[in-house]
Structure formats: C-alpha cells, structure tokens
A and B are shown apart, each in its own frame.
Chain A
C-alpha cells in the first residue's frame, strides 16, 4: 500500500523537552514537506526538502529542525525553543512531472503540551 505514514498520531510534550515526529513515504517522491495547522487556519510551511541531504526553511521554521538522510524519511523535531507547539502537524510529499505537481498528505500528528 503506497502512502505517507506519520507517527505517533498523538504526542505530548513536557516543558523544555524536544520531541520528534516521524514521517515515512513509499511513493518514491523526491520532495517532502512539513506543515503546521492551527484551528481555523490554513497550512503553514515549516520546512521542506527537495532532495536527500538538503532542506530549506519555510515560513515558520523557528523552533523546529529537520533532517533528510534517506529519501523515504523526513523527521521533524519540535525543540524547546518553540514556545507554542500545540498544533496539528502534517507531512506531505510531492509527485512532480510534466504539467503535474501534486502533494499528498499523511494523517497528521496532534501535538499537545502537558
């Protein structure tokens, strides 16, 4: 079954703690993305990676870090520097081709602060 798997589904963070959200895809897509979604708001881009071992900051990268060591995996770390981490986090990968640029999403991880 091809798709994007995010884990865990729910995550709780204590004050001062770093937490890592997992994102794995078996679609063989080069580009991967992390978004944050707050209630009643659209998706805001945190980080994206267009190729292994390379990534770029999105619009709200402060307090987050990523790595892209494998094509299939793009984990996101929410650091203690992110003062308002409670949100729904979505990972996506992009199918690219002639007249085609489509992003597919995982089911999301809901992060809350204890």
Chain B
C-alpha cells in the first residue's frame, strides 16, 4: 500500500463548477499538508499549505485536513479554464522527506 493515495483522474468539469480533489494517507505522523499545482511541462507551484487538522481558505481555494480519517481535500470554487492542471497532494513528517500523491489531472471546460 502506498503511503499517499490520490485518484489520478483525469477529471473533467464545466467552467464554474465546484471541484473536489482528495488524498488519503496511512502515516499518522504526517503533520504538514500541501497542495501543488503543476501546469504541463512546468515545475509544481505551491497552492495551499496547512499544518495539522483544520481548514484553510485562500480566494477560490479551500484546503481541508482530517487527521482522524487520514484524509485531505482541496476544493476549487467557481472553477476557471486557467485552473486546468495536475494537482499534487504532498505531506511531510517533521523535517523528513516529502511524500507525494500520484497527481490528479483536472480539465475545466469553457
């Protein structure tokens, strides 16, 4: 079993829809949780960062962490074609190695 599981998609939704992206993990010691956005042929860019459980909102993006269920989510409201990218979840325990999910390829159709 992988430490971090992420549905690779692809996921295709119409413009304006609410998008939900999810990851599950097995290591209860993970403390820091991140979402990266990666456009085609580019490096990943940090989108959201949360420490421990709870919600964090930044504009149209909301990150949720549920440590009791070992489950993290990223919600995108009012999705735009420019949101089309691969979204990678990542998590880390202390100063150890970052562990990535497989990435979900998302397409927002105009």
Q: For residue A108, which residue of chain B has the nearest CB? A: B43
Q: Give the complex CA separation of A110 and B43 in angstroms.
A: 11
A85-114 interface bits toward B, Cβ cutoff 8 Å, 1 = contact, 0 = none: 000101000101001111111111010000
Q: For residue A99, which residue of chain B has the nearest CB? A: B51
The number of inter-chain residue pairs (CB within 8 angstroms) is 58
Partner of B97, one of A45, A104, A107: A45
Inter-subunit contact B45/A105 (CB<8 Å): yes
Inter-subunit contact B8/A40 (CB<8 Å): yes
Inter-subunit contact A41/B102 (CB<8 Å): yes
Inter-subunit contact B42/A108 (CB<8 Å): yes
- A42 touching B46 in the complex, CB below 8 Å, given contacts A96-B95, A110-B41: no
Q: Give the complex CA separation of A15 and B46 in angstroms.
A: 36
Q: For residue B9, which residue of chain A has the nearest CB? A: A40
Say what secondary structure dominates the interface of chain A. strand
Partner of A90, one of B44, B101, B103: B44
Inter-subunit contact A103/B98 (CB<8 Å): yes
With a CB–CB cut-off of 8 A, which chain A residues contact B97? 33, 45, 48, 58
Q: Give the complex CA separation of A48 and B95 in angstroms.
A: 12
With a CB–CB cut-off of 8 A, which chain B residues contact A90? 43-44
Name which of A41, A43, A45, A110 has the most chain B CB atoms within 10 A of its CB: A43
Q: Give the complex CA separation of A34 and B34 in angstroms.
A: 18
Inter-subunit contact A42/B92 (CB<8 Å): no
Inter-subunit contact A101/B95 (CB<8 Å): yes
Q: Give the complex CA separation of A88 and B51 in angstroms.
A: 29
Inter-subunit contact A101/B94 (CB<8 Å): yes
**Is B61 positioned at the interface, with any CB of A under 8 Å from its CB?**
no
